[in-house]
Amino acid sequence: MDIRIATRKSALALWQAKHVAEALAALAEVSSVELVPLSTRGDEILDKSLQKIGGKGLFIKELEVAMQSGAADIAVHSMKDVPAEVPAGFCIAAVLQRANHADALVGRDRHRIDTLPQGARVGSSSLRRQAQLKLMRPDLLIEPLRGNVNTRLAKLERGDFDAIILAAAGLERLGLQHHISQQFTPEQMLPAAAQGVIGIECLKSNSELPAILGKLNHAATEQTTIAERAIARVLQASCQSPVATYAVIDNDAMTVTGLVALPDGSRSIRDTVSGAANDAQRLGEELANRLLESGAAELLAAAGAAHD
């Protein structure tokens, strides 16, 4: 089978697509793999926040259109960018083994969170990261930061910020991990749902592809991804909501932690549930409902109103 991969054009997206292409090319059923680089609205509109232009789903819409039109067979995504509800007719046929889940601080002069000067400017457009930074350091000034990884690093280098926050996995995949001055532990900063996970999407109607793609699926990562994305779905949280979640598996047991906070860090709710790893969806839903019982809906409504 010949497989065409729809991908964004950023260096990180192309790295991920090539990574999947190499894995597919090793399968006996696959005769050739071709990349179909596309530009998305999320990549093109850099002067507005993602909340105002429709959320991170804007990074994948054009890729799904390419599959519907027959211009591509599959799309490769960072799963943290994929809305909790996949559009009708599509499926996530496989997730690869999770890379580094952590958020990373990239500080000028190798600053860490506790050595940043009072009132330091930190670049991040994520309300999730902003809220947790404010929980650690209420004095920090969090300012919007958009663009690809190299663009963000360049803004730090020219003095726009004292530090920026990026996903450690993205920096590592691009060979830029030497810029990291601190990796946050889950106790300090919980990641976004499925952060560090690469997912492969295809049309459900393609009878052959899901079975082939399934050979690349990593079972444990699938379970943690299901649990974490269930939380976002039940909370009706977008990729830009101040919601964080992280699931870990130890033998056959899974522990899931979730957090909902106001972007200014003035209020937060955090909770944890544990159970059987093969009960991932129920665990995620249980945790989300516990967060709702503790007032998560009110925090999310307040966060949304403040950033409309």
CATH of 232-306, one of 3.30.70.870, 3.30.70.20, 1.20.58.1610, 3.30.160.40: 3.30.160.40
| 208-217 tens-digit pLDDT | 999 999 999 9
Q: Which of the two residues, 207 and 63, has the higher pLDDT score?
A: 63
Say if domain 103-183 classifies as CATH 3.40.640.10. Answer: no
Share of the chain above pLDDT 90, in %: 85
Is 60 exceeded by the pLDDT of residue 47? no
CA 212/CA 84 separation, integer angstroms: 24
Positive or negative, the CA dihedral 83, 85, 87, 91 is positive
Q: What is the pLDDT of residues 222-246, one digit of tens each?
A: 999 999 999 999 999 876 789 999 9
* Complete DSSP assignment for 69-131: HTS-SEEEEEGGGS-SSPPTTEEEEEEPPP----EEEEEGGG--TTTSPTT-EEE---HHHHH
CATH class of the 2-98+197-217 domain in this structure: alpha beta
Average pLDDT of the chain to the nearest whole number = 92
pLDDT in tens, 165-178: 999 999 999 999 99
Q: 2-98+197-217 and 103-183 share one CATH topology?
A: yes
Cβ atoms within 10 Å of 145's Cβ, excluding its own: 20
Confirm whether 81 is a catalytic residue. yes
What would the mean pLDDT of 272-284 be, rounded to a whole number? Answer: 98
Q: Measured between alpha carbons, how far is 215 from 110 in angstroms, rounded to an integer? A: 41
Catalytic residue (one of 43, 73, 81, 162): 81
What local confidence, expressed as pLDDT, does residue 46 receive? 47
- Domain borders along the chain are 2-98+197-217, 103-183, 232-306
- At position 32, the amino acid (one-letter code) is S
